[in-house]
Structure 1
Amino acid sequence: MSRLIVVSNRVSAPKDPAAGSAGGLAMALSAALRTYDGLWFGWSGETIETFTGEAKIEDRAGVTVALVDLEPQDVDEYYNGYANKTLWPLFHHRLDLTAYERSYGEGYERVNQRFAEVLAPMLEPDDIIWVHDYHLIPMARDLRRLGVTNRIGFFLHTPWPVRQLLVTLPHHRRLVESLFAYDLIGFQTEEWLDLFRDYVISEARGELAGDNGLEAFGRKVCVGVYPIGIDVEDFMGARDSPAGLRTYDRMAASSAFRSMMVGVDRLDYSKGLEERMLGYEQFLHDNAELRGDVFLVQVTPISRDDVDTYQDIRARLDALAGRINGEYADMDWQPIRYLNRGYRRDQLAGIYRAARVGLVTPLRDGMNLVAKEYVAAQNPDDPGVLILSRFAGAAEQMGEALLVNPFSREELSDAIKTALTMPREERIRKWTALMKVVRDTDVAIWRDDFVQALRSIEVADDGDRPLHHQPRADAA
């Protein structure tokens, strides 16, 4: 069987899967790489004074990883610059935070080319290559320039932006054209795929090529929707583990007969954290009789602290949480527990299970797996209620959640009250429907559907990309 080569900005294959701290995606890809005798390639997270063009090969719990060190300038321009100051805000519709600097684009192109030059000699003729996320959009183009003719797939974990915003990006056409060097492009939702089609047809004068293809820039590419999920059984095992049960007991005891709400989000302006706190503040203002009966645990690990916009939002959230607590807290009750630290999966599962309400309210998100984790952690006989932003990718699948517009603090306030007062029978009905979605979109199904679709693509003998594609009937 041919090898599977996974390429991502950072290699997240766990050194010790038994530790329980690795994410579900890392665990699923690691399992695939062990099955397919594969390789995980990406940045080590370390810097080096002069780029060597060499990769460090390691074994991580049976997974072979190839790690590349970058120069400080690469990290500043490619990662902190183009990836996190240009593409990330643009893809999340934050044009006000998007920085267009020529050096960022140059660094992005340089690092993608360097990655391709290091990876290409490691490839075998029948390998299939799976590239992940917006950091590495040009990767296939650079591999093709080096003569690589293997099947190459790309999966975008973030949203795709509307055409009217994407065209503000200098060299946007070149970026999109580089995607046509792939054989298969996967998106989280139909909405993101539709927006990609709109750009290709309207801006690049492309055409539909059957049910699953697009033709533009003189090439054809296959496209599909592959909604990502969690490792359900593994997560439920973490929930029922000794650490998960201990965490649940601690949180249930600390609730002291109050209803706990939970939000778990990396510190990022796309997650709607300010809007969530303002909506909760509105709830406290509108429902004086319920004050003291509910509190919010907001878990927000710090991320990208080298980027100034993340420093700004951290300061604003610190001030907002302090103001709400200062205005509404009593001697034996604090409305917000704001925690700037991360927790292991088993601990998070225990926290989720103890929460009467799960708040997942991003302003824009590719999928958001916290929504699925929250559902999987619940007690089937007495489940909590999921409040979910209609702008999260998960909303396309999880219609039985309480869908809200996170920009409206009144709507969020009303949803919190509805969730806290929802009868048990209705909570069970909603949870049952949501849990079916979680199981039907398990991360292993996502992984296997994408890999199978990529393998099924037929490529012409001369390496033209691609000849045609016959995916599983339900794969896209």
Structure 2
Amino acid sequence: MDETMFGRALSELRGSMPRITAASAESGRLIVVSNRVAPIEEGQPTAGGLAAGVLDALREKGGLWIGWSGDIADGGSRLQPERQKGRVRLQTLDLAQPDYDAYYRGFANSALWPVLHYRSALARFSRADYAGYQRVNGMFATAVAAKLEPDDVVWVHDYHLFGLAAALREAGASNRLGIFLHTPFPAPAVFMTLPVHSDLARSLCQYDLIGFQTEPDRRAFEDYILREADGHIMPGRALMAFGRVVRTGVYPIGVQAEEIRRQAEPLADCAQMSRLRASIGASRLIISVDRLDYSKGLAERFLAYERFLEANEERRGSVTFLQIAPPSRSDVESYREIRVGLEREAGRINGRFSELDWTPVRYLNKGFARQTLMPMFARADVGLVTPMRDGMNLVAKEYVAAQDPRDPGVLVLSQFAGAACELKSALLVNPHDPDEVAEALEQALSMSLDERRERHAEMMTALRRNSLSAWRDRFLADLGARR
């Protein structure tokens, strides 16, 4: 077999990585590796629900979380000293500008992210960026290998670190290694638009367990392995590929529903909510909260709301659409263009429909703390969550969990969000069809209380069944099982 780009990168790394052979007095720890880490010190911003779930696992089992610090280092990339609180240790890596540009801005977010979200036309592939991606994966692997004991379990997160397991195997690690993919996984024909698709698949198969958000995502990966990598299915639905057996599973991420409802209730009279109530008065509220990203379908959503106003003249003056879109990857040109485009569309719609006492669109290019967002969700009559493609979309679940079950709002949800596989009682829409979304908005605003309660109760049952704790515990149990 010809040596691949990935194989050449690993050969270069091999000499600098410690061999993992020593036994340990302390075993069975959990090592989490992700692009970013959650804060563990008091006084730092509160971690989101997903990060909190990972932290809980670390606190229970004891272990280490390794990730990028978010800082750009002068000179070369370098590891920072460990920090510790209780049983949780944290170690971060500062990236030099060239490593950040190639690994994060380059391959991960300019090539891999768009392909994973079925937007191949937006992908920009560079061999130099891919080499940088592998180089930084090797840096993370070196950091893990230096701390790894034979019985430790390694839980890796997301598309930034597809190459980590292969680098650790090259270093001699035989530990249980698992990766959970937070994004979708595309159909084989889409994945193959990446020139290094075979290298990436080979590196993914160095993990023992690959977790996906939905069954269609898992099937897409299986199809690729069976059709393009000469793989085959083993008993128990494990895959044999590239000389290894790898298991796959579906682990839909959940939320802490009861905690979200508690956050929504006592803070309903906070200063921000008082200002919101005063500014919109008796208007019905439609709310959307998304990172500023082309996968979220923001431009298409604005068009759908405009169609809603066109078709429902009687709603004008009595419905407000609040779009919260915190900046995302602001140093990437395509994301700056998205922001400018949305600002232009919001201004155009407001210029067309506004009255002296009513502004139809409120577009906020800023983020809010969860303690502020949850009461906003509870106040909103409609949660509008219409990504063009999403791994899960926890905003949809948070919106449902924040609602008062006695008088709940209605979720309008894209059929292409992973959450649609569970939240079947939402109003499911095709985000590519603005008229369908507009009709769903009118249906949501007209829905009877009895129907709203019934739909909300069904979705809450799904949220409780697939809670954040259940997601975490199922994945770690499967990863620790030797089959």
Same fold (TM over 0.5): yes
Query: Which residue, 108, 116, 119 being the options, matches 2:133?
Result: 108
The alpha carbon displacement at 1:63 in A equals: 2.6
The alpha carbon displacement at 1:436 in A equals: 1.0
Distance 1:254 1:19, change over 3 A: farther
TM-score for the superposition, normalised by structure 2 = 0.92
**SS of residue in 2 equivalent to 1:56:** coil
Distance 1:20 1:77, change over 3 A: closer
Q: Distance in 1 between matches of 2:314 and 2:46?
A: 40
Q: Is the 8 A contact 2:286 2:384 kept in 1?
A: yes
The alpha carbon displacement at 1:190 in A equals: 0.2
Q: Is the 8 A contact 2:30 2:64 kept in 1?
A: yes
Which residue identity lines up with residue 8 of structure 1 in the other structure? Answer: S
Residues 354-369 of structure 1 aligned to structure 2 (within 5 Å) = 354-369=379-394
The Cα offsets for residues 421-465 of structure 1, whole Å up to 9 and x where unpaired, read as: 000100000000011111111111100110111111x2xxxxxxx
Q: Is the 8 A contact 1:14 1:27 kept in 2?
A: no
Matched, 1:157 2:145: no
Query: Which residue, 325, 350, 364 being the options, matches 1:339?
Result: 364
Q: Distance in 1 between matches of 2:272 and 2:383?
A: 17
CA RMSD of aligned residues (A): 1.5
Q: Distance in 2 between matches of 1:404 and 1:376?
A: 20
Q: Partner of 2:260 in structure 1?
A: 235
Distance 1:284 1:243, change over 3 A: closer
The Cα offsets for residues 92-138 of structure 1, whole Å up to 9 and x where unpaired, read as: 11112100111110100110011111220111111100000000001
Q: Distance in 2 between matches of 1:254 and 1:50?
A: 50
Q: Distance in 2 between matches of 1:192 and 1:178?
A: 18
Residues 235-314 of structure 1 aligned to structure 2 (within 5 Å) = 235-242=260-267, 247-314=272-339
**SS of residue in 1 equivalent to 2:236:** coil
Residues 57-68 of structure 1 aligned to structure 2 (within 5 Å) = 57-59=82-84, 63-68=88-93
**SS of residue in 1 equivalent to 2:135:** helix
**SS of residue in 2 equivalent to 1:211:** helix
Which residue identity lines up with residue 479 of structure 2 in the other structure? Answer: L
Q: Distance in 2 between matches of 1:223 and 1:193?
A: 7
Q: Distance in 2 between matches of 1:126 and 1:255?
A: 57
Q: Partner of 1:463 in structure 2?
A: none
Percent identity of the aligned residues?
47
Matched, 1:391 2:446: no
Q: Partner of 1:73 in structure 2?
A: 98
Q: Partner of 2:7 in structure 1?
A: none
Matched, 1:423 2:448: yes
Matched, 1:27 2:65: no
Distance 1:111 1:20, change over 3 A: closer
Q: Partner of 1:461 in structure 2?
A: none
Q: Distance in 1 between matches of 2:374 and 2:467?
A: 17
Q: Distance in 1 between matches of 2:45 and 2:336?
A: 30
The alpha carbon displacement at 1:239 in A equals: 1.6
The alpha carbon displacement at 1:49 in A equals: 2.9
Query: Which residue, 44, 47, 54 being the options, matches 2:72?
Result: 47
The Cα offsets for residues 23-57 of structure 1, whole Å up to 9 and x where unpaired, read as: 00111111111111111001111122333653421
The alpha carbon displacement at 1:211 in A equals: 2.9
Q: Is the 8 A contact 1:187 1:227 kept in 2?
A: yes
Matched, 1:84 2:130: no
TM-score for the superposition, normalised by structure 1 = 0.93
Q: Is the 8 A contact 1:87 1:134 kept in 2?
A: yes
Q: Distance in 2 between matches of 1:59 and 1:163?
A: 42
**SS of residue in 1 equivalent to 2:362:** strand
Q: Distance in 2 between matches of 1:21 and 1:245?
A: 18
Q: Distance in 1 between matches of 2:274 and 2:94?
A: 43
Paired residues, number: 457
Which residue identity lines up with residue 363 of structure 2 in the other structure? Answer: Y
**SS of residue in 2 equivalent to 1:262:** strand
Distance 1:239 1:191, change over 3 A: same
Q: Distance in 1 between matches of 2:78 and 2:302?
A: 47
Which residue identity lines up with residue 307 of structure 1 in the other structure? Answer: V
Q: Partner of 2:480 in structure 1?
A: 455
Matched, 1:329 2:354: yes
Q: Partner of 1:473 in structure 2?
A: none
Q: Partner of 1:147 in structure 2?
A: 172
Q: Distance in 1 between matches of 2:381 and 2:168?
A: 49
The alpha carbon displacement at 1:19 in A equals: 6.9
Q: Partner of 2:460 in structure 1?
A: 435
Structure 1 gaps, min length 5: 459-467, 469-476
Structure 2 gaps, min length 5: 1-26
Q: Partner of 2:160 in structure 1?
A: 135
Matched, 1:222 2:247: yes
